[in-house]
Structure 1
Amino acid sequence: MSFGDPNNPYGQQQGGQPGYGYPQGQQPQGQPGYGYPQAPPVQPYGAGGFAAGPTEMPGGVKAARVMLFIIAGFQVIGAVLFFLTGAAISKAQDNPALKDDIQFKDLADFPTGGVYALGVAVLLWGVLAIFLGVKFSSGGNGIRITALVFGVITAILGIYPFVLVGLVHTVLAILIAVFVGKSDGSAWFTRQRA
């Protein structure tokens, strides 16, 4: 029976010979040879074979959530202003002293139902913002896409009809779209749920 070259430190050792580099009688027992792993390989995926995803909401997603709640607050304030404007126009239309005023004539011709409808639309947009913000912790990719579309539409509406008032809406909406659209936002909304 041949054990190879006895002077080769990397070869198989003979039975009674001590290991390479150890004094006689002090060779550690059970130590694997060179190149053998000490532990099983680390698996990057969970038990199901899917990526586990983040366990805590990323900072950008948290910021987008807060911005949705801020937009919802502004929407409620805007709805209240629309309802108050509708009530003021309705009351002014009944005032006989203002009926002859030429400047008021244009305002009086505007239907109060349209002002109330705008108030309801603004309020519903705020409710959608609250809904999206609440669903950020448990929602899936559909909530992410809806928040992205919400941000884009809000930014466009903030630019066009409400330039001065909508500047804050535009900035917040753009940030929402960016934070939700980033890779860590995508990883949060597409994570595996227990």
Structure 2
Amino acid sequence: MSFGDPNNPYGQQPQQGANPYGQQPGGQPGYGYPQGQQAPQQGYGYPQQQQYGGAPMGPQTMPGTVSAARVMLWVIAGLQVIGVVLMLIAAASVSAAKNDAQLKDDVQFQQLADYSSGALYAIAAFAVAWLVFAIVLAVKFGKGANGLRVTTMVFAIVTAVLGIYPFVVVGLIHTVLAVLIAVFVGKDSGAQWFKRPRY
């Protein structure tokens, strides 16, 4: 009995003993696999940690270092709130002292008071903007892409520099936190988190 061309998928296939490539359960031939071995089965739906283009999909949960950087952004925002309150109190105190009867005739103090209160209000406004920026970055850590990572690193570097000068004494904590944020976000785990594919 002849079975025709063995490579013809539409022709009649030989029995199990006559098929050199083996046969899958259910009568489907296992093309290209030696007898006794089964072709790998693929499931339906999204694969878990499937490789795409040779690169891993990335972490599905936020790495610990990235989460720590996010917490540090919230700490910086909290410190900014405290700084804003102190700056506003200092500016109000300088303005009140400017109206003091004993100091009203002192021209040098009046000039210094005008400059000091204006500078303190400007610093307070800058601190408010910086704290809003820190909050926005912290909120977007869960869904942000690589652009957010780069922005966070720039924010951290500028914060570290401002912590060194001009706010040396009060900025030391900011400097330490900012350096840690830049390091944690800049690490490989941070890059994998912010560059992960989103579906």
Normalization by structure 2: what TM-score? 0.72
Question: Shift of residue 35 of structure 1?
Answer: 10
Partner of 2:171: 166
Partner of 1:108: 113
For residues 181 and 91 of structure 1, what CA distance do their matches in structure 2 show?
47
Partner of 1:119: 124
Cα pair 1:51 1:192 within 8 Å, conserved: no
Q: Which runs of 5+ in 1 are unaligned?
A: 1-14, 16-28
Partner of 1:3: none
Question: Shift of residue 166 of structure 1?
Answer: 0.9
Tell me the SS of whatever aligns to 2:142.
Answer: coil
For residues 33 and 87 of structure 1, what CA distance do their matches in structure 2 show?
87
For residues 75 and 174 of structure 2, what CA distance do their matches in structure 1 show?
9
1:64 aligned residue (56, 69, 76): 69
Amino acid of the structure 2 residue aligned with 1:71: I
Superposed counterparts of 1:122-161, under 5 Å: 122-161=127-166
Higher relative contact order (CA 8 A, sep 6+): 1
Question: Shift of residue 52 of structure 1?
Answer: 2.1
Using a 3 Å threshold, how does the CA distance of structure 1 residues 53 and 112 change in structure 2: closer, same or farther?
same
Amino acid of the structure 1 residue aligned with 2:40: A
Count of residue pairs the alignment pairs up: 167
2:56 is equivalent to residue 55 of structure 1: no
Superposed counterparts of 1:78-117, under 5 Å: 78-100=83-105, 104=109, 107-117=112-122
Q: Supply the RMSD in Å over aligned alpha carbons.
A: 3.1
2:51 is equivalent to residue 45 of structure 1: yes
Using a 3 Å threshold, how does the CA distance of structure 1 residues 34 and 78 change in structure 2: closer, same or farther?
farther
For residues 64 and 34 of structure 1, what CA distance do their matches in structure 2 show?
55
Question: Shift of residue 49 of structure 1?
Answer: 8.1
Q: Which runs of 5+ in 2 are unaligned?
A: 1-16, 18-23, 26-32
Cα pair 1:141 1:186 within 8 Å, conserved: yes
Cα pair 1:64 1:180 within 8 Å, conserved: yes
Cα pair 2:98 2:110 within 8 Å, conserved: no
Q: Deviations over 1:53-100 (max 9, x none)?
A: 110000000000000000000011111111111111111111111235
Question: Shift of residue 120 of structure 1?
Answer: 0.8
Tell me the SS of whatever aligns to 1:136.
Answer: helix
Using a 3 Å threshold, how does the CA distance of structure 1 residues 127 and 35 change in structure 2: closer, same or farther?
farther
